[in-house]
Structure 1
Amino acid sequence: MQLTIFYDSACPLCSKEMAQLKSYDRFNSIVLQDLNAEDINERFPTLDTDYANTILHGWLHSGRSSDIMEDSGEMLLGLDVTAKAWQMVGKHPWIQLLRLPGIKCVADKAYLKFASNRYRISYLLTGQKRCDGDSCSL
């Protein structure tokens, strides 16, 4: 299985996590797609990029096609993407706890708060609000 993650490359924390994730991806089973790429809508015409910019999207699929419509799979959202990605690379097993009943609901609400404030939080943690040029390139 392959996981295609649609992420916001303008977000310093998002880019940092994706770079770390890929550094552990020994089997190259995770493909990163930048939502800010000029051709993202051409390459993934069925992806709602506006919605994907509000909550992390991950497409779990066979890897036989780069078209979401041709290669049926499962679209994961938010922390489900994060948990699946880290599980696939065999790191940060504690993240799976965020998917347990009772914790999942609270964690998902906290994630949505984070996602809608990711630039402010990035600034507080990194001193950088948005990536510009190659400042956060993978």
Structure 2
Amino acid sequence: MYNKMNWPLTLYFDGECPLCAREIKLLRGHVVKDRLLFVDISSDAFDAKVLGFTFEHMQSKLHARFADGRWVTGLDATLWSWRAAGLGFWAAPLTWRALRPLLEFGYRLFCRLRPHLAWLPHPDSGRRCVDNRCAVPTSKPASDEQPTLKKK
């Protein structure tokens, strides 16, 4: 896809999503120094407008940006984040042309269902519980609009 990688890759993820948080936890455990950075878009400190997007757009699918400003989204963001963490062999099927249409369909389906999965156990659930009460955040459904990514 790209001849020369401009590391680090910054991965923008939704830390409130239980499945997303599990994947990030796995990636953090294998991260290669100076190749992969993480930004939780559910953090109060995150502002999508600074990047030229809306929060809903950033939440609609996975986004990642190389150091030179090139963006990758969806399955490509997954592929490159796994490669940056040194786990590219696990994501290799994402490069197989014969499987790509099926994987794209599955990813779009997951993106539509993801807001409804907040009830799943979160890997950080212990930190979300205070005084015998646990808060399960409600995710906002992503809008159907698919704005074009801006190149920096």
Band the TM-score falls in, shorter-chain normalisation? 0.7 to 0.9
Matched, 1:84 2:90: no
> For 1:58-77, what per-residue CA distance to the aligned partner results, in whole angstroms no more than 9, with x for missing partners?
11124xxxxxxxxxx21111
Distance 1:103 1:97 in 2: 7
TM-score scaled to structure 1, two decimals? 0.74
Quote how far apart the aligned CAs of 1:132 are.
6.7
Distance 1:50 1:12 in 2: 18
Match of 1:22? 28
User: Against the structure 1 CA distance between its residues 45 and 81, is the aligned structure 2 distance closer, same or farther, given a 3 Å change threshold?
Assistant: closer
Match of 2:137? none
* Amino acid corresponding to residue 134 of structure 1 in structure 2: R
Matched, 1:54 2:50: no
Matched, 1:134 2:127: yes
Match of 1:108? 104
Distance 1:108 1:114 in 2: 10
Match of 1:12? 18
Quote how far apart the aligned CAs of 1:33 are.
0.9
Contact 2:48 2:55 in 1 (8 A): no
Distance 2:108 2:83 in 1: 21
Quote how far apart the aligned CAs of 1:30 are.
1.2
Q: Runs ≥4 in structure 1, deviation > 4 angstroms?
A: 119-123
Number of aligned pairs? 122
Gaps of 5+ in 1: 63-72
Quote how far apart the aligned CAs of 1:53 are.
0.6
Matched, 1:38 2:44: yes
Distance 1:89 1:118 in 2: 24
Q: Pick which of 19-28 and 9-18 moved more.
A: 19-28
* Amino acid corresponding to residue 86 of structure 1 in structure 2: W
Contact 2:48 2:54 in 1 (8 A): no
Gaps of 5+ in 2: 1-6, 129-152
Quote how far apart the aligned CAs of 1:12 are.
0.9
